Amino acid sequence: MAENHGFGVDIGGSGIKGCVIDLDSGERVGERVRIPTPQPSKPEAVAEVVGEVVREFGWKGPVGVTLPAVIKQGVAYSAANIDKDWMRLDARALFAKQLGLGTESVAVLNDADAAGLAEINHGETRLREGVTVLLTFGTGIGSAVFLNGALVPNTEFGHLEVDGHDAEKHAAASAKEEHDWSWEKWAHHVSKYLRVLEDLVWPDLIIAGGGVSKKAEKWLHLLDIRTEIIPASFKNDAGIVGAADAASFGHKH
Ligand code: BGC
């Protein structure tokens, strides 16, 4: 069978991870490389690390890169957990230059949108039917919305207002850590948040992603919401897979 490989890089507040992805299965090909995110996470310094990751594999093809930011036509319009110098910066042009590629060979997208693409492109058919919302619960909350498999990019549902606060404040996984909450207590806050979300968007299905999705058995059943919610099937590699997909074929469906 002919190889159908892509390359994805996931930029987070603490680490920059990349690897080769099999675009048919969404599986990792070989090892993943992780380099700590430079501090401060200035664009030039981060781009150099992205170059280092890609060169490590001798990869010459298209590259997809995620950022925890709103991205339109390669330009960042927000910067969560990364240096504010990213704001209004043409991230796609910066990465293309660093990688010696044309801008058409580089895709830059929001981290949660990438994680959603991984699930939608490689998951069961029913994920591509109706309105599916993927949420990543981590330091913040990221969101990705799909209608019949097509992404509506840059939804920022982590910032919905719940009880007068930004939803991330109590419903992100970091809030559980910070307050040392039990799963029950945290799930109570997540339910409150999801009820606001489901009243506004009426999804057919919610996918719970982010690091805590690895412990889905501890909390998903505690949620008191009307929408079906399932754990993401891609765990740590979701962003990388979705980024590789986006660079190579946008999204299939
Ligand atoms: C940001 C999103 C990002 C999410 C997860 C939020 O604070 O606003 O753009 O997707 O964190 O990193």
Q: In a structure prediction context, what are the per-residue pLDDT tens digits for the chain, which is 253 residues long? A: 468 999 999 999 999 999 999 999 999 999 999 999 999 999 999 999 999 999 999 999 999 999 999 999 999 999 998 999 999 999 999 999 999 999 999 999 999 999 999 999 999 999 999 999 999 999 999 999 999 999 999 999 999 999 999 999 999 999 999 999 999 999 999 999 999 999 999 999 999 999 999 999 999 999 999 999 999 999 889 999 999 999 997 544 3
Assess if residue 29 is contained within a domain. yes
Do residues 55 and 140 share a domain? no
- Structure tokens of 45? 């310094």
Residue 15 is given by DSSP the state: E
Which of 238, 7, 26, 241 has the alpha carbon at shortest distance from 138?
238
Residue with CA nearest ligand 1 atom 8? 80
Residue 45 CA to ligand 1 center (angstroms) comes to 21
pLDDT for the residue 169: 97
Residue 17 CA to ligand 1 center (angstroms) comes to 17
Residue 140 CA to ligand 1 center (angstroms) comes to 6
Assess if residue 118 is contained within a domain. no
Asked if residues 230 and 208 have their Cβ atoms less than 8 Å apart, the reply is yes
Residue with CA nearest ligand 1 atom 4? 142
Which of 31, 22, 30, 29 has the alpha carbon at shortest distance from 4?
22
pLDDT for the residue 235: 86
Do residues 52 and 87 share a domain? yes
Do residues 140 and 82 share a domain? no
Task: Give the domain range for residue 62.
Answer: 5-113+243-249
Residue with CA nearest ligand 1 atom 7? 140
Assess if residue 120 is contained within a domain. no
Do β-strands 228-231 and 71-72 pair in parallel, antiparallel, or remain unpaired? Answer: unpaired
Residue 202 CA to ligand 1 center (angstroms) comes to 21
Do residues 218 and 134 share a domain? yes
| Contacts of residue 103, Cβ cutoff 8 Å, sequence gap at least 6 | 74, 92, 93, 96
Do residues 78 and 45 share a domain? yes
**Residue ranges around ligand 1 (CB below 6 Å):** 68-70, 78, 80, 110-112, 136, 138, 140, 142, 156, 158, 168
pLDDT for the residue 249: 79
Assess if residue 17 is contained within a domain. yes
Do residues 49 and 92 share a domain? yes
Residue with CA nearest ligand 1 atom 10? 142
Assess if residue 236 is contained within a domain. no
Do residues 88 and 166 share a domain? no
- Our mutation pick for probing the ligand 1 site, out of 65, 86, 139, 157, counting the most ligand atoms within 8 A of Cβ, is 139
Residue 3 CA to ligand 1 center (angstroms) comes to 33
Residue 112 CA to ligand 1 center (angstroms) comes to 7
Do residues 134 and 81 share a domain? no
Q: Which SS3 state, helix, strand or coil, does residue 99 take?
A: helix
Do residues 12 and 105 share a domain? yes
Strands (E), the chain: 5-11, 15-22, 27-36, 63-67, 71-72, 75-76, 106-110, 131-137, 141-147, 150-152, 161-162, 165-166, 205-209, 228-231
pLDDT for the residue 2: 62
Determine the atom of ligand 1 nearest the C-alpha atom of 112: 10
Q: What is the pTM of this model?
A: 0.97
CATH code: domain of residue 103: 3.30.420.40
Q: How many domains, in total, are found in the chain?
A: 2
Neighbours of 199 (CB within 10 A): 9
Assess if residue 158 is contained within a domain. yes
Residue 117 CA to ligand 1 center (angstroms) comes to 16
Residue 141 CA to ligand 1 center (angstroms) comes to 6
pLDDT for the residue 56: 97
Alpha carbon distance 233, 39 (integer Å)? 31
pLDDT for the residue 253: 39
Alpha carbon distance 150, 175 (integer Å)? 31
Assess if residue 237 is contained within a domain. no
Residue with CA nearest ligand 1 atom 9? 69
pLDDT for the residue 252: 42
Asked if residues 144 and 209 have their Cβ atoms less than 8 Å apart, the reply is no
Q: Which amino acid is at 236?
A: N
Do residues 28 and 86 share a domain? yes
Assess if residue 198 is contained within a domain. yes
Do residues 101 and 152 share a domain? no
- Our mutation pick for probing the ligand 1 site, out of 67, 109, 136, counting the most ligand atoms within 8 A of Cβ, is 136
Backbone angles phi, psi at 29, to 5 degrees: -105, 110
CA 22-121-46 angle, 5° bins: 65
Do residues 141 and 225 share a domain? yes
